[in-house]
Amino acid sequence: MYIHTETQSQLERGKRIIEIYTRNVILLFNNCYLEVRILDTKMTERFDCHYCKESLFGKKYILREESPYCVKCYESLYSNTCEECKKPIGCDCKDLSYKDRHWHETCFHCFQCKNSLVDKPFAAKEEHLLCTECYSNEYSSKCNECKKTIMPGTRKMEYKGNSWHETCFICHRCQQPIGTKSFIPKDNQNFCVPCYEKQFAMQCVQCKKAITTGGVTYREQPWHKECFVCTGCKKQLSGQRFTSRDEFAYCLSCFCNLYAKKCAGCTNPISGLGGTKYISFEERQWHNDCFNCKKCSLSLVGRGFLTERDDILCPECGKDI
């Protein structure tokens, strides 16, 4: 580059010298003299907007995926629309987003009180954003213990439609927070399991431990369901038919095998439970269905019969005896 000057003294007398650099031009301003010369490089390379193709020399532009765009094209193509004012969010504005929705910084405010939500906690309800105070006043549940609002973002405990602060959900007896531990409700009050057992629970006759849920009463005594079992086979009797002998409970199968009389016909036990009918004769017993003539199998229930040793016969079959 060549810059012509009159003399060195003229340059020294200049009030100021400003050099402005562009891509291909250098300008030298001086009070006394001005000369502009184009650099030797050729202006063959273009620098245009990727969309509208207008030159970007001397203009603001935005790069997107390594392609330049003028501000107007970029905003029309890629700018988000503000949820509040419905206008594009320009390149010179902050774009605040929440769940794929966008706002200008000045439009990001509480739906009710209109206070700014920038850098503040907030809650969403039916597509509207609310500050925590407005949300709690309108929608938050009240603690069943202290009656105060349970603020959004804080942990709460819920049971049967009621809510508590975590620190308010405590055992009525020991006053300790229950948290996620097991508890037992009684008379609209909640108890941790140890306190309930100490204060209210009955003791199982078999294992001597507290019965906290369910249980069985037999002979006016409490049992755990899993402790109330057949004396013979140890199967649980809760919900099953059973009988007893000498104050011990038995399932029907064990009782019949151990104590029931045997049918003289089929040799199976005659339980006598549930209204079962049987025939008894000379210390022998038969099921109703088994009391038949030995020869012709005619039922002898309610009929006359004859005996021949251990057999029973109808009068017709026994007439030749």
One-character DSSP codes across 144-180: TTT--B--TTS-EEEETTEEEETTT-B-TTT--B-TT
**What is the rounded average pLDDT of the residues 253-269?**
83
- For residue 107, give both structure tokens: 């439009």
pLDDT at 56 > cutoff 50: yes
Mean pLDDT within 11-38: 33
Q: Do domains 201-257 and 277-317 have the same CATH topology?
A: yes
Q: Which two tokens stand for residue 145?
A: 């213990």
d(CA 295, CA 250): 38
- 31: tokens are 């009070």
What is the reported pLDDT for 275?
55
Query: What is the structure's pLDDT at 61?
Result: 84
Query: What is the spatial distance between Cα 29 and Cα 224, in angstroms, rounded to a whole number?
Result: 104
Distances (CA, A) of 168 to 151, 171, 180: 14, 9, 13
- Give the rounded distance of the alpha carbon of 252 from its chain centre: 45
- For the segment 17-34, the average pLDDT, to the nearest whole number, is 32
What's the pTM?
0.34
Domain boundaries, given as residue ranges, for the chain? 201-257, 277-317
Architecture of domain 277-317: Ribbon (2.10)
- Domain 201-257 in CATH 2.10.110.10? The answer is yes
- Closest by CA to 224, choosing from 237, 241, 243, 233, is 237
